[in-house]
Structure formats: structure tokens, C-alpha cells
Structure 1
Amino acid sequence: MEHLIVDNLTMEFGGLKAVDSLSFSVKKGEIYGLIGPNGAGKTTVFNCVSRFYNPTSGRIIFEGKEITKLKPHEIIRAGISRTFQNVELFKHMTVLENLLVGQVAFTRENILSAAFMLSSVRKEERRIREEAMEILKILNIEDKAHEYASAQPYGIQKLVEIGRALVSQPRLIMLDEPAAGMNHSETDELAELILKLRDELGITILLVEHDMSLVMNICENICVMNFGKKICEGTPEKVKSDPAVIEAYLGGEEIA
């Protein structure tokens, strides 16, 4: 079943087409890669799906419903979350507090009841803390819960950002270069985590990543972009042997 459909998506900035009539679809439970050189338009696609940008034309369909006109907070409530290329954590909050901030929109109590600290509010606070701690356990960083986010190595900070995306309980998560800045060991652990999110939590993954070994090892299908256009789509085996991909993406060098 198609979980996400990007249909003829175009995004123009002052006459420049950052994304040009792009179409692809992601199946439910799939790990799908979106790759291409710098400036190919990958993050622009993420910004269109998450509704930070209003596409010039085209449609975005999630779970059978068109979401092209939704607001960013409505996208999160619809079941889609994302991370960003640059880590944007609250550095003067703890790791746990960073996740709790991401849960604010999903608390079940209103401001008035919170002001009076009703028992239902205290119960809700316990619930969201327990859920946040469960996510930290999944990420294997629960021991960092009460440490400042700013004190963590870059690889841990990237995991905290993934955790913040997970607290909304998404059915689709878009990961924008999650391995950037990670060493080889951290990247291997990230690959295991992404597979765990799909296999154990049932989350569909849309992945933008420059680490080709990571992409080729965990993605079932890949869409390759160049200058805003799709130049190839298919399995890792098909993509890495496609002449247009080799030429445009790697300047003639074969993909590992």
C-alpha cells in the first residue's frame, strides 16, 4: 500500500525550479532513500511535505488523503514528523526536557487545568515523561536523560533530535542527513536504529542521506535527483549501476 505519494511536485523560487515535476511513492513500512548531489532539491522536497514551503504545483498524498494545503502543525498531527540537517536542540535543557518540548502539542490537558495543577495534569505529566523515557531507551541513551543536551557529543545530539521527532508517535518519519557528522561506528548504530524503528515500531522511513553505504544497505528503493528532477528510481542495485546516476551524482565514479 502506498503510504506517501509525491505527485508531479514543483517548487519555484523566483523562476528557479528547485524541484521540477517530481513524482515518487513510498510504501507503508518501507525505508525509502532520496539522494542526489548538493543542491539537487532533496531538502526542498522535505520542506514541501512538512509544509514549510507551499509547492508551486503538484500534490502530496499521505495515507490516501491530500495534505498539500495543511499547516505544519497539522502535518505532525496527521502522523508525519521530521529531523533537520542541522541539529536544533534546546542546548540549556536536558536531553529529557528536549523530548518533552516535542510533546507539548500532544498533551491532553488544557492551559486552565494546568494553571491549577489538577490531579489530571500531574497524571498527564507522568505519562509524557514515561513515554519520553521509553523513546530514550529505544535510542539507548536513557542514561543521558538528565544531562544537558549541549554537553553531549554530536552523535548523541543527532539521536536526541530523532527522539524529539518520535515523541509525536509518527507513522512516517523523514530523516534529513541523520548520519552527517557521525563516525563509522555511530553510522553503523544509526543503521540498526533505523531498521529498528521500521521493524519494531512500524514506522515508514523517508531518508535523505549522503552516506552511500548507509543508503545502499538499508533502503529498499531509492529516488535519485539532480537539478530538481528525478533521474533514476529503483532498488539500490539498479541505482548504483545506472549510468546517469554515476555521471551526475559521482562524476563518473562507481557507487560503492
Structure 2
Amino acid sequence: MRRKSKRRRWLEPQSSISPRLYLALTLSSFALLLAVWSLLTYGGIVDKLFLPSPSKIVESGITLFTEFDFIQDILATVYRVLVGFVLAFLAGSALGVLIGTYKALEAFFEPMISFVRYMPVSAFIPLFILWIGVGDVEKISVIFFGSLFSIVLMTAVEVGGVRRELLEASYTLGSSPLGVLRSVILPASLPGMMEIARLVLGWAWTYIIVAELVAASTGIGHVIIESQRMLRTSNIIYGILTIGVLGLITDLILKRAIRGMFPWNYGR
């Protein structure tokens, strides 16, 4: 009976599973995707012009690296994403903490930020090109603009959710308003703010493609749009997969860093 209950424990809501099972399920999801892809392409179900086979994608990747210096495009894209995101996180977190802490600032900033947040970042690219030009600063600005407002609002919600009892206890012990912000609000909010950073970083990887599809001479987005013009579907898919891999790597790094910085918040 004990063995049976242990086997079925993974069916319980939010119940933890062994690292080995977790890894096996993760690998199986990718294996299933590869199997379906192979069936569609090697089986001739889908024309190779629209969906090349996995082996053709690998060949295209080798060609991009050996003949077209694809590594430079990757480095250009990574640089733009990280610089734009880090700047947005620093500015957005600071403003979000202030908005979540002080109601007067919330009344002043939040309606305007909520309004701007619903404007598509791609619609501002012509203006950024007009104002800034077509260099890296324009691409970084797209990432910054696309990430900033979500970070501000989500951080404000996280800060506003700090329990009132903690603030009152700090005041009872003689803390000043600034001391409460420094010693209570920030420590309580930091784990959630870092999870917000992890979430928005994923969005930043999608914004960079939009930025590099227009007026770019380097970057993965540039490779994708040039491949589309030449009907090189395999290069397009390889570029998309490269973005996915880079996003997954940065997500895993940030996830590991968060768990290292706040181990008490991830006891499970």
C-alpha cells in the first residue's frame, strides 16, 4: 500500500517529483516533438519547402556558422537583448518599488503607464528609427521600451502585496519610513521581483526579432528576414530555434541564480 501511494503521489496537486523523473519527462517532451517533426518531413506529409527535415536544419546551421559567420549575429542579438533588458529592469524595478510603496506616486504614474503598456512596441519602431537611427541604440530601445512598463506594474503589485503586519511590526520597533522600505519592503519583495525579471526576459527575446526585422544588418532577426527573401526555410527555422535555445539558457541561468540568492523561498 505504501508503494502504491508513493507511485501516485505525483498526481497530487503541487506535489514534488524526483529530479530523475523531472529530467525524464523534460527529455520526453523534446523527443516527442522531434518524432512528430520527423514523421511529417521524412514521411513526405509536408513539403520540404514549408518544413525542412531535422537533418536539413542541422546542415543549414553548419552552413550558417562556417560560411556566413552566424556567431557574430548571435553575439549582436545577445548584446542587444541583455543591455536593453538590464536597463529596463533597473529603471522599472526602481519606479515599481516607489509606485507600490507610495500611493501618491501610484496615482500619478500607474494610469499613464497602464495606458502606454497596451501600445504595441512594434508600432514605435518607425519613430525610433526617425529619432535614433538604425544602429544598436535603436534595437536596444525597442527591448527597453517593450520590457519597461510591464516590469514597473508587476513590481508595483509585488511590493504592494507585502503584508501590512510586517510594516506595523517594523514601525513598532522604531523604524523610520525609509527604514521600513529598506529593511522590510525590499527584502520581502526581492524574490518576486527576480521572478518578474525572469518572466519579462522571455518577452525581451521576442521583441528583439521585431527590432531586427527592420533596418538591421546584423543579428538573428536579420538572418531570418534575409532567408525569407531567398526562400531558405531551413535557415529561418534554425534562426528561430537559436532564439529558443538562447532564451532557454538565459532562463535556466537566471532560475539557478534566483534559487541561489533566495534559498529560503524555494524550500521545496
Q: TM-score normalised by the shorter chain: which range applies?
A: under 0.3
The TM-score, its normalising length taken from structure 1, stands at 0.24
Q: Which has the larger radius of gyration?
A: 2
Q: Which has the higher contact order (CA 8 A, sep 6+)?
A: 1
The TM-score, its normalising length taken from structure 2, stands at 0.24
Higher percent of residues as helix: 2
Higher percent of residues as strand: 1
